[in-house]
A and B are shown apart, each in its own frame.
Chain A
Amino acid sequence: DTAVSQTPKYLVTQMGNDKSIKCEQNLGHDTMYWYKQDSKKFLKIMFSYNNKELIINETVPNRFSPKSPDKAHLNLHINSLELGDSAVYFCASSPSLGAVNEKLFFGSGTQLSVL
């Protein structure tokens, strides 16, 4: 069973559209994250949630709205997509907030291409 799974794996869409990426973890972790990896492979945190509560919001445009219906799920909705949103988006989880210093478990990524 995949520990952190995200869907879809690939997403191709037009500018201005709205799209969502879903993430689920079956590890029983309290904390989940969204990271963005740009074309130069630079990986930067966007959000973290702990038990459905937003903890970190790294000055991400408000077109990006994460939603955590329960602690096993963290979805990412993006409104009015722009060319610069093209990237690979990774979901990750850790047992707790402090456990970022232990180990993060990553999903396999969603490659978003905005045309």
Chain B
Amino acid sequence: AQSVTQLGSHVSVSEGALVLLRCNYSSSVPPYLFWYVQYPNQGLQLLLKYTTGATLVKGINGFEAEFKKSETSFHLTKPSAHMSDAAEYFCAVSDHGSGATNKLMFGTGTLLAVQP
């Protein structure tokens, strides 16, 4: 079975500082990994995903994540935080088995605060 663990339920950074949100996964098969963002009072939006190929994936709003199989990690980074990045971030792994029962399993989220 697949699962993800997000280390740190709250992360606070200064505007312009590096953003690092941690995600580790557990999977018995090569994983499909995702980061979703949830702004206040909104649904989740896809930031980026890794399925196969290049292990460094770039997403929207300047975010990127690197799949590291040896570390079972998929940490999310952004070189310089903006105030508008303040949101809840969710890491997810796909149970990409038979297709019919594909489902995403989410981590518990990391709330990112950006200080002026």
Complex Cα distance, B2 from A45, in Å, reads: 14
A97 close to B90 (CB less than 8 A) = no
Residue from A40, A42, A45, A109 in contact with B104 in the complex, judged by beta carbons closer than 8 Å: A45
Interface residues of A in 63-109 (CB under 8 A from B): 90, 92, 97-98, 100-109
Q: Are A101 and B51 in contact (CB under 8 A)?
A: yes
Q: On chain A, which size bracket covers the interface?
A: 20 to 34
A43 touches B106 (CB 8 A): yes
Assess A101 versus B102: contact at CB under 8 Å? Given A40-B108, A43-B90: yes
Q: B43 contacts A41, CB within 8 Å?
A: no
Q: In the complex, what residue of chain B is closest to A96 when comparing beta carbons?
A: B99
Measured between beta carbons, the chain A residues less than 8 angstroms from B36 are 104
**What is the CA–CA distance of A88 and B5 in the complex, to the nearest angstrom?**
21
Given the complex, which residues of B lie within 8 Å of A107, measured CB to CB?
43
A68: min CB distance to chain B, Å: 16
Residue of B nearest to A109 (CB): B43
Q: Which residues on the A side are within 8 Å of B45 (C-beta)?
A: 106
Given contacts A55-B100, A97-B99, A100-B94, contact A42 B42 (CB under 8 A): no
- Whether B96 is near chain A, meaning CB under 8 Å from some CB there, is yes
B112 vs chain A, min Cβ distance (A): 13
The smallest beta-carbon distance between B15 and chain A, in angstroms, is 24
Judging by beta carbons under 8 Å apart, are A106 and B44 in contact?
A: yes
> Which residues in window 46-100 of B have CB below 8 A to A?
46, 49, 51, 88, 90, 94, 96, 99-100
